[in-house]
Structure 1
Amino acid sequence: MTRARDARWSGALGVLDEVRRAPGGTRAEAARRLGLGSGSATEITARLRALDLLDEVPAPAVGRGRPTTRLLPHPRGPLVAVVEVRYEGWRCAVSGIDGRPSTVLAGPRRHGTEPQVVGEIADALRDVKRRYGRRLRAVSVNAAGVVRDRRLVRPTTLGWEPTDLTAILPDESTPLVIGNDATLAGLAEARGGAGVGAGTVLYLTVEVGLGGVLVIDGVPAVGGSGAGGEYGHMPFGDRSRRCPCGARGCWDNEVDGRALARHLGVGQPDDPRAFAVQVLERAERGGDADAVAAVRRVADALACGVAGLVNAHDPDVVTLGGLAPLIRAAAQDDFDAAYLDGLMEFRRADPIPLRAASLGDDSALIGAAAAGLDVVLSEAGLDQWAADFERAAARG
């Protein structure tokens, strides 16, 4: 059975991956990258087109070569519903196999009211299911909290209790993928952002706290239960301070708006991220010595931890998301000096590069779409799509 499935989908999966990587690329380019002959590429794309998985349109003529086609998602092809649950609110989007989510509905932040938010998201997904029917193949969620065994077990930044999100599914047969927002943002940056081309990418982001992930050959290293990558809870901070997670000395408490408020001697802000942005702007404008001093302390704490993780993981590149590149820019000399000083000596002559993330605020949404498509565009997922397609065709 496995051999038959491999024979059916091995070339097809390669072509679909090419469309995911570069939607609108030509069939000739895909064939060249995959080492396929012209005849094989034509046969594979014809099968995928017949199953409503791919569409082909004529490519603009270039020179005197043989005409080719551009490969695009089929307008009746499979879809993933992508849900984002963040401190600021939630949104629901839909993505085809090109991995480009388009928002269909959003809701405001409702701090501490998880049943209401879960109900609103469930209503949105039922609407998506009614609209798209069998084309909806999976629901993928990115959430601001610790995810373990597909459950949101520590959503403290949302003000929630541990939450089972299976109630959002429009039906029992739809697969559910759940990931931490930082993990999924790192996945997106590794595959299609600032980490493209690197085999091992360390992604770190500062929002309310710090999160991240190590991505190896395009696959996030999230541990046995999916809760890996909680770098903000490594003991890089003050051991006298207990973190809301329950541990002492967490790095989280040294690098975000809460740390800036503490250094400035003011109360904890209601919105730590917005507060951090204000302080960073004050520091960059100059003339506010207190803001500059606070930012320098946070930059030092962030850079020292980054160096420690580089020593531990040996990545090819580090990508910095959220507020992290802004913190670095506001205290560039302090940050870079602390980073180099924290590296093992043999690394300093050629330090691992630090790059600002390139996908912006949509990075976690894009990563969630990618994680959902990994399920849909697998051998098992394509088997199920083909079976459903053939049943629908038989019914006329």
Structure 2
Amino acid sequence: MSEDNLELMVNRRGRWQTAAEVLGLLSRQPGITRAAVARALQLSTGSATEVTARLRDLQLLSESPAPIQGRGRPTTVLAAHPLGPVVLALELRQGGWRSGVVSLDGSLEQLPGHRHRGHRPASVLAALREVVVGAAAEYGDRLQAVALAVPGTVRGLELLQASTLSWNDVDLSPVVEGTGLFLVAGNDATLAGVAEARTGAAAGAGTALHLIVEVGIGGTLLLDGVPVGGASGTAGEYGHTPYGDRSVRCPCGARGCWDLEIDGRALARHLGEPVPEDPYSYADDLLRRHPAHAEAAIAKVAEALGAGLAGLVNAHDPAVITLGGLAVPLRAAAPAAFASAYEDNLMTFRRSAPPPVLEAAHPTDGVLRGAGALGIDHLTSEPALTAWEAARG
């Protein structure tokens, strides 16, 4: 390779690295100014102006005058370009799915949700592919990636196990079959945690723990906004830690899973009622009504949540914990039971300053926002930026 070609490669790599950093800041701090980008990345005013102009020319971002605040040079507010690339975020749930379109600045346009027409993997994935095809027809080559959130354990594009769907070893790639679109997949609770760590209640925390209760409990540990995936990318299955009754076999195959102590199944069991067909709706309704006869059952489940959370704090030492889904109304319905179990199960040295437990800032759309963030990570990679530039050359 000639020296000229080598220098060109180095320059291009450096150019895309800075561009990716600028776009990364935009996705984590919507409405950031060009001056703030320059400070964060230690760029000169000229360099910041040059790189944002290049990104504007490539239809990756737009700029508008920032409100004048005191003395100093005027600056601009950065936003996603109206003709720039987007991600289709899909959230697969037990009863149906939701979707939304996410731009480079993290803005989400949520689309109408749908119920499953059938529960077999092939039927559900075919329905999701219809959504992808429809989005591709509407957005054209602006649609660059699809990010799929699923309620189960994921490795690459394989759903290893989803107990609530009774799915095992399902290939997720048919969702984009024949479209040529990039597909990335992740666990729903993990992706909700990504949203909280990047733009939500845990933003800025170096180490954060996110937990979400729906059917069972899941979550993730995040370091600087990046989920800890483990050796094979399947970490975060907190619902399958043995915090429950070891005599009970979980649908996942393990015994004594925390999942079985936390959600609508646990509430029904404590109330002497049959296992609900839809544990999420059952628990949601019960927590909204909060009938007197259910107070003891709700307190038991809140205690199970608080005690298990303390165990995770002892193990992970997070700076902050965020709660999503039914964990929020569950704690609110029995605050004393939760707080007592949380404190009592912390190691002694942690009790004087336990990590704060905060409500999620994205309680209803965190999974879609987190999936979108995963897709944006791809859009701002060197290969994706290079391809986008070539398509507009």
What TM-score comes out, normalization by structure 2 length?
0.93
Q: In the alignment, which residue of structure 1 is the partner of 2:215? A: 208
Aligned mates of 2:135, 2:177 — CA distance in 1: 9
Judge which range, 30-39 or 152-161, deviates more: 152-161
Secondary structure class of the residue paired with 2:170 = coil
The one-letter amino acid paired with 1:4 is: N
Judge which range, 108-117 or 80-89, deviates more: 108-117
Aligned mates of 1:210, 1:111 — CA distance in 2: 25
Is residue 150–residue 226 contact of structure 1 (8 Å, CA) maintained in 2? no
Residues 1:360 and 2:360 aligned together: no
Residues 1:347 and 2:350 aligned together: yes
Residues 1:7 and 2:10 aligned together: no
Is residue 111–residue 160 contact of structure 1 (8 Å, CA) maintained in 2? no
Q: In the alignment, which residue of structure 1 is the partner of 2:65? A: 58
User: Structure 2 unaligned runs (5+)?
Assistant: 1-5
Q: In the alignment, which residue of structure 1 is the partner of 2:182? A: 175
Taking a change above 3 Å as real, the CA distance of residues 133 and 212 of structure 1, as seen in their structure-2 partners, is: same
Secondary structure class of the residue paired with 1:163 = strand
Secondary structure class of the residue paired with 1:52 = coil
1:258-337, aligned counterparts within 5 Å?
A: 258-283=265-290, 288=292, 290-337=293-340
Cα RMSD of the aligned pairs, angstroms, is 1.8
Is residue 87–residue 372 contact of structure 2 (8 Å, CA) maintained in 1? yes
Is residue 156–residue 184 contact of structure 2 (8 Å, CA) maintained in 1? no
Aligned mates of 1:209, 1:182 — CA distance in 2: 11
Q: CA offsets per residue over residues 224-246 of structure 1, 9 Å max, x none?
A: 32221000000110000000011
Is residue 147–residue 185 contact of structure 2 (8 Å, CA) maintained in 1? yes
Aligned mates of 2:143, 2:315 — CA distance in 1: 41
Residues 1:127 and 2:134 aligned together: yes
Aligned mates of 1:292, 1:101 — CA distance in 2: 38
Aligned mates of 1:155, 1:44 — CA distance in 2: 44
User: How high is the sequence identity, in percent, across the aligned residues?
Assistant: 51
The one-letter amino acid paired with 2:303 is: D
Is residue 29–residue 199 contact of structure 2 (8 Å, CA) maintained in 1? no
Judge which range, 131-140 or 237-246, deviates more: 131-140
Aligned mates of 2:117, 2:169 — CA distance in 1: 16
Task: Return the offset for 1:91.
Answer: 2.4
1:56-135, aligned counterparts within 5 Å?
A: 56-63=63-70, 65-110=72-117, 112-135=119-142
Is residue 79–residue 135 contact of structure 1 (8 Å, CA) maintained in 2? yes
Task: Return the offset for 1:29.
Answer: 2.3
Is residue 87–residue 158 contact of structure 1 (8 Å, CA) maintained in 2? yes
Q: In the alignment, which residue of structure 2 is the partner of 1:247? A: 254
Task: Return the offset for 1:65.
Answer: 3.6
Is residue 244–residue 256 contact of structure 2 (8 Å, CA) maintained in 1? yes
Taking a change above 3 Å as real, the CA distance of residues 296 and 105 of structure 1, as seen in their structure-2 partners, is: closer
Is residue 126–residue 170 contact of structure 1 (8 Å, CA) maintained in 2? no
Task: Return the offset for 1:222.
Answer: 1.6
The one-letter amino acid paired with 2:217 is: L
Is residue 81–residue 136 contact of structure 1 (8 Å, CA) maintained in 2? yes
Number of equivalent positions = 386
Residues 1:150 and 2:153 aligned together: no
Aligned mates of 2:96, 2:253 — CA distance in 1: 25
Secondary structure class of the residue paired with 2:365 = helix
Taking a change above 3 Å as real, the CA distance of residues 42 and 113 of structure 1, as seen in their structure-2 partners, is: same
Aligned mates of 1:311, 1:255 — CA distance in 2: 19
